[in-house]
Amino acid sequence: MAHRPKRTFRQRRAHSSDSDGAEEQSSEPGAPEEQTAQGLTEEGPPSGGGRVEATARRVRGRGRGRGRGRVWASSRRSAGAATRTEGGLSVPDEEDETAHSLENKDDQSSSSNSSSSLEEEFSSVVNIPDAAFIQAARRKRELARAQNDYISLDVKHTSAIPGMKKNSGDDPESEPDDHEKRIAFTPKSQTLKQRMAEETTPRNEETSEESQEDENQDIWEQQQMRKAVKITEGRDLDLSYSSEPQTVKKFDTSISLPPVNLEIIKKQLNNRLTLLQDTHRSHLREYEKYIQDVESSKSTIQNLENSSNQALNFKFYKSMKIYVENLIDCLNEKIVSIQEIESSMHALLLKQAMTFMKRRQDELKHESTYLQQLSRRTETSTNESLAVDEKTQWILEEIESRRSRRRQARALSGNCDHQEGTSSDDELSSADMNDFQKTQDDISQDHKKIFEDVHDDFCNIQHILLKFQQWREKYPDSYYEAFISLCIPKLLNPLIRVQLIDWNPLKCDAIGLKQMPWFTSIEEFMASSMEDSKKEDSSDKKILSAVINKTIIPRLTDFVEFIWDPLSTSQTTSLITHCRVILEELSTCANEVSKGKQDLLKSVVVRMKKAIEDDVFIPLYPKSTVENKTSPHSKFQERQFWSGIKLFRNILLWNGLLPDDTLQELGLGKLLNRYLIIALLNAIPGPDVVKKCNQIAAYLPEKWFQNSAMRTSIPQLENFIQFLLRSAHKLSRSEFRDEVKEIIPILVKIKALNQAESFIEEYNLDDLKSVIKEV
């Protein structure tokens, strides 16, 4: 496509209608219509006057210029545009009828004063054709365009009517109706020659017409050649290829070739023959191997077809595969519900444990603060009443009401030998107890619904183990090769956790592990394994230990870390019972549970350390204050001391499970020497002090003193021994001389024999020498 050249808009001046204005207009530089207008005036009829001649020249010049530059045509042309001369008549151009020129608008606006006089003069010279003649000329031109794709340039009539269009515009009959006018929405289709003219039209209008025609002709020829080449290539590629010159490579005789020797040719042929023979032999070997493989495959197929046992084996393995896949899918679907219910139960128990712990600490804080205020008032000897806030008063009343209920319960049970402070303050109000029980029942109901839509083969541990037992009995080799003993604990883990949801190892009435259904089922499975298997080191013997290590110990560890209260003797006793079953009764599986055992015992030690630091508080008051056993200070001190004794006992109950060094560090080093001995030193020597020392010695493990050659006690008891000797010296000089006879057996029990003998010799207590001799 040729690029459309820029349109040049010429400035026109129409200040007057005289000849001077016309001559001035035609004398503008660079106007191409100047020469054209002069040429037309020579061929046309003589003008009627200078003014008419100038006007006709200007109009013809514009008309001729427009006829040559149709590529600039737009849809905006005035009715006074130039006309095209065709067949000796002045025929208006088709595009000129529907377009209005921006130039003529300017021209018309500038020459509005002289338009009427010009039309009168011009109409006397020009003959205006009628409408029928114009329509006939138009049809003739369109027919010529349709047939020859060009407009004939053969002009027979040289008469031009440059002002026809303008004058005909005044006649309303010559104008087409509105519905007959053609509106150009798109550019008109152009002929090939017109497109060539657009491409080759120079931007400079001063270029000569001869150079333009030569360039147009060259461009047109080039375009035609390119089109012809493209058509030829598209239709016949072989023809275009064959038209290319073929170059034949000629042999260069100047190049010298190496000499040809018969021996060399023979050697190369022999090498080639040897290589082919080797390749042939390798192919033969491969062929023989393939033949043997085919024969072996055929015999295997025949043996399998003839053997019915193989089909049964395949059927069994396939059924086991499907069963295990379904079991795993079932457990994967239920594991989410199991975890949610486990979390709910654990959160409920944790909330209860935190309630008890926080209440105990708050009550201890408020009671201690109240007694301190009471002591200050006593020291100042004021008779004013002690101001106590409502919260403290309410807490003190609540504490005393719970103690009264416990005293009544002990009196009804006949337990009169009880010390204040040794009872577990774990009572709940009726409302709190009902809420706790209701929530626990709801969780238990949800727990029962987990596997209510599951067949027993996929939720009953005994049925599951029976499936694997059948596999072990029928195909023991494949059973052990598949390491089923490692898979069973993982498969049973969710099912065992379901049975442990409502199991609380801190309760005294909790069911023992050995009485649980899963425990008995695994034991039976292991027993049948030892009967069937000839191997002494059967891997099925480790199933129970793996289950305990992966399922039971983690649950016990959670209870110890978050729920267990070391100050509660009942919780500690129940927990120790379950731990002994796990860690002692299953001693044959010690290697498997060693890591879990270490984690469990470590959590026990950490929890007891925390209890010593947070829950042990024994206040020290002046002796004058505590001499009165009925004073609130004395009662509070006694309760806190016996609470420490209770924790001391609970720590030493772990004897046999925790190492002796750990127990001695916790019980003797951190609790006895740091808290209990200091409280005893502040007490008044008497029967109460001897009773407390007797209680401390009674809780010490006997195995620590079983060595008969032992004459001195363990180092951590040195402070306790020195306190006993000091108390004996004071009692021997007081009215409680008989209490000395109770101190000597304490020294003997803890293997402080040298100190006991020295004291007996010093005070001539010959009747107590028999006690030492019995040891």
Q: How far is Cα 107 from Cα 14, in angstroms, rounded to an integer?
A: 7
Q: Indicate the pTM of the whole model.
A: 0.60
**16 has pLDDT over 50:** no
Q: How far is Cα 487 from Cα 614, in angstroms, rounded to an integer?
A: 44
Query: Does the CA dihedral 527-533-536-542 come out positive or negative?
Result: negative
Confidence of residue 588 (pLDDT cuts 50, 70, 90): low
Q: How far is Cα 339 from Cα 334, in angstroms, rounded to an integer?
A: 9
Contact by Cβ (8 Å): 517, 463:
no
Contact by Cβ (8 Å): 36, 205:
no
Question: Two tokens at 287?
Answer: 């062929």
Contact by Cβ (8 Å): 50, 19:
yes
Using a 10 angstrom Cβ sphere, with 0-12 exposed, 13-18 middle and 19 or more buried, the burial of residue 289 is exposed
Instruction: Please report the pLDDT score of residue 556 as a whole number.
Output: 93
Tell me how crowded residue 518 is: count the other CB atoms within 10 A of its CB.
22
Q: What percent of the chain has pLDDT over 90?
A: 35
Among the ranges given (378-382, 541-545, 666-670), the one the predictor scored with the smallest mean pLDDT: 378-382
Of residues 714 and 63, the one with the higher pLDDT is 714
Beta-sheet strands, E only, within 660-709: none
Residues constituting the chain: 775
Instruction: Please report the pLDDT score of residue 329 as a whole number.
Output: 95
**14 has pLDDT over 60:** no
Rounded to whole angstroms, what are the CA distances from 526 to 102, 216, 536?
110, 107, 12
Instruction: Please report the pLDDT score of residue 736 as a whole number.
Output: 78
**382 has pLDDT over 60:** no
Instruction: Please report the pLDDT score of residue 153 as a whole number.
Output: 54
Instruction: Please report the pLDDT score of residue 173 as a whole number.
Output: 45
Q: How far is Cα 253 from Cα 303, in angstroms, rounded to an integer?
A: 74
**349 has pLDDT over 50:** yes
**Element spanning 90, H or E:** strand 89-91
pLDDT tens column, 432-490: 899 999 999 999 999 999 999 999 999 999 999 999 999 999 888 899 999 999 999 99
Provide the mean pLDDT of the chain: 75
Instruction: Please report the pLDDT score of residue 220 as a whole number.
Output: 87
Instruction: Please report the pLDDT score of residue 503 as a whole number.
Output: 93
Instruction: Please report the pLDDT score of residue 64 as a whole number.
Output: 42
- Tokens 């030998």, residue located: 417
Q: How far is Cα 61 from Cα 163, in angstroms, rounded to an integer?
A: 11
Contact by Cβ (8 Å): 103, 12:
yes
Instruction: Please report the pLDDT score of residue 68 as a whole number.
Output: 38
> What is the SS3 string spanning 4-45?
CCCCCCCCCCCCCCCHHHHHHHHCCCCCCHHHHHHHHHHHCC
What average pLDDT does this structure show over 501-511?
Answer: 91
Q: How far is Cα 110 from Cα 444, in angstroms, rounded to an integer?
A: 107
Instruction: Please report the pLDDT score of residue 458 as a whole number.
Output: 94
Q: How far is Cα 47 from Cα 57, in angstroms, rounded to an integer?
A: 10
Tell me how crowded residue 117 is: count the other CB atoms within 10 A of its CB.
12
Instruction: Please report the pLDDT score of residue 587 as a whole number.
Output: 64
What average pLDDT does this structure show over 208-232?
Answer: 78
Ranked by mean pLDDT, the top range of 27-41, 55-69, 170-184, 346-360 is: 346-360
Domain ranges of the chain: 324-378+388-408+436-612
Among the ranges given (70-84, 116-130, 626-640, 673-687), the one the predictor scored with the smallest mean pLDDT: 70-84
Q: How far is Cα 18 from Cα 553, in angstroms, rounded to an integer?
A: 125
Rounded to whole angstroms, what are the CA distances from 76 to 6, 100, 106?
17, 3, 12
Ranked by mean pLDDT, the top range of 159-163, 259-263, 520-524 is: 520-524
Confidence of residue 535 (pLDDT cuts 50, 70, 90): low
Rounded to whole angstroms, what are the CA distances from 766 to 186, 633, 757, 769?
142, 41, 10, 5
Among the ranges given (31-35, 458-462, 485-489, 630-634), the one the predictor scored with the smallest mean pLDDT: 31-35
What average pLDDT does this structure show over 299-310?
Answer: 76
